[in-house]
Amino acid sequence: MSRLRLTAILLMLLLISPAQAQDRPVLSAFTLGIGSSHIADTYLTPLKYEGWSVAAGYERMQAFKPSADSWITRLYITGELNRSINPAGNARMWGFELSASWGFIRRYSLPYGIKLGIGPALSARGGCLYNSRNSNNPASAKAAITADATAFAAWNTHIGSLPITFRYQPTIPVIGAFFSPCYDELYFEIYMGNRRGLVHPAWWGNRFELNQLVTLDLHLGSSSLRLGYDSSWMSSRVSNLTTRIITHRFVIGWTSEWLSSEHKKATTNRANINSALY
């Protein structure tokens, strides 16, 4: 048998190798959150507004193919709506934001069911605040792109015979860029061409943000009921403008696990899944 034919046969064997070698554990979660919002934006008003906040989120954690036991990827997408009122109760401020974060996490398994992870992430977010009391300039646009540091600590244990997982995951933007107009600059002026000084470098000296997620997953087979709490704290000061947006929300959702396979071979046996998180 020629060397060329032998090489071709080996390549074919690699391509048709069992699907299990290509399987990657995936965990996905859909959540809803409701809680409070606390907003201050001196571009719109010097007053602080407080009210409610609702959000919908999607999280996907997947084992990274070259090293599924040690590395995972995490995609986290949220959309939130905030409604707040001023201290006098005669003006409303609406806020909307859509954010997405994607990153790599190095995972470490410790005794007693404890897992730790840390890694980098990239985030993008955009939204708007709208103050119904303002007639001349009622809106303030928000946008940022950042490089983040994220980590998690998870503990697998039991309540009676029910397996559960506690997790705490903070994410902190480290550096990036964000949008902000100058003090008293109208968006009509920006539309007419005055676009200097709108993008600013983001660092902890002019924009600090901390996002925290605490979850309790009650495992019911390959799916879990998720209960938790999430908070977001963002503060920026640039061009004589100060913005502070703080939210606290109770979270409820549903998670599921499966194997992502290039050969589309399904599996329902949880014991064969080296979970992307648990």
- On the question of pLDDT at 96 being above 50, the answer is yes
Report residue 268 CA to chain centroid gap.
28
Which tokens sit at 87? 């201290």
Strand partners, 232: 211, 247
CB atoms within 10 A of CB 164: 18
- On the question of pLDDT at 270 being above 50, the answer is no
Dihedrals phi, psi of 71, to nearest 5 degrees: -120, 140
- On the question of pLDDT at 269 being above 90, the answer is no
Global pTM value? 0.85
- pLDDT confidence of residue 267: 44
- On the question of pLDDT at 184 being above 90, the answer is no
Q: Where do the domains of the chain lie, and which CATH numbers do they carry?
A: 23-272 (2.40.128.100)
User: Which range (108-112, 125-129, 194-198, 240-244) has the least confidence?
Assistant: 194-198
21 confidence band (pLDDT: 50, 70, 90): very low
Q: Strands 24-41 and 48-63, how do they pair? A: antiparallel
Which of 50, 55, 51, 49 has its CA nearest to residue 34?
55
Identify whether the C-beta of residue 165 lies closer than 8 Å to the C-beta of residue 277: yes
pLDDT in tens, 118-136: 999 999 999 999 998 887 7
